[in-house]
Structure 1
């Protein structure tokens, strides 16, 4: 590293603590007192003169422009009315669509509720029908009224289905002896 002057060399040789005036430890060291500020001496400082504001003169053209700017133009009023009409129409359309959407949501909700009720009723009716079937009464009626009889064991053929997707068993399956 090249040294240009003594001041630069002394800055490099200082420790980090010395360069940045870090204070380590739990107590602060006593610092040198700052030099006292000179007291205010009114005789030394010159008095300022109050600023005098001059009133600007406005030309007739400037006055005409100012009055014209303050007036509402008929074209501006038409544009403002057209803008307000567009905003009103868009707002009305938006609110009507929101109303339709809310009606559709409530209709869907009512239909879902009705479907749920009908499914429960259907399951109840199916269970009632299955429980109302009296197999011994059917067997007795078939034997007496229609002359049917049980087949012999040699005539019964067992069938095993390999494509059974769903089986619902309500009672114990009787043995075929």
Structure 2
């Protein structure tokens, strides 16, 4: 086990080749011939042979069961394929509807941007003054403090601040 690297890989160092020792000749083991014994089969009776032939024949009941199984497997396969086709069709339809939704959302965003850009606050102020409206004074402003800061729901008229 503890061989050196030189011994392990049979390395030769130097510039001359050494003579290799011849491997000892191993005697070949004699091959033993196996004796094959044939057992005599017991003779089968005529009734046993008839039963074996009968078992080998395919009877009508077996054919009916086989045909029924093939029909059932075919029906289940066709049902599966039709349901699979419906599923693929529904997925395609869903994909089309999503594309439509995305298109409509983009159009809606564009229209909202257009509406926001079309509002001219100076024009609104001029029109309001034309109809006799004016900016409220500090006495006309009523401040309302809400505990719920998200929204305000008005159930009744706001009382006067007198």
TM-score where L is the length of structure 2: 0.62
* Cα RMSD for the two superposed structures: 3.7
Is it true that 1:96 corresponds to 2:74 in the alignment? no
Shift of 1:51: 6.2
Aligned length: 132
2:2 match: 24
**Structure 1: segments with no counterpart, 5+ residues:** 1-22, 166-177
Shift of 1:159: 5.5
Q: Which whole-Å CA distance do the structure 1 matches of 2:41 and 2:58 have between them?
A: 29
1:139 match: 125
Q: Which whole-Å CA distance do the structure 1 matches of 2:52 and 2:44 have between them?
A: 10
Shift of 1:24: 0.8
Shift of 1:161: 7.6
Change (3 A) 1:113 1:159: farther
State the SS of the aligned residue for 1:72. Answer: coil
TM-score where L is the length of structure 1: 0.57
Q: Which whole-Å CA distance do the structure 1 matches of 2:93 and 2:35 have between them?
A: 83
1:118 match: 104
Shift of 1:131: 0.6
What does 1:9-158 correspond to in 2, within 5 Å? 23-26=1-4, 27=7, 37=27, 57-144=43-130, 146-152=131-137, 154-155=138-139, 157=141
Shift of 1:105: 1.4
1:4-31, Cα deviation, whole Å (9 max, x unpaired): xxxxxxxxxxxxxxxxxxx212226xxx
Larger RCO (CA under 8 A, 6+ residues apart) = 2
State the SS of the aligned residue for 2:127. Answer: helix
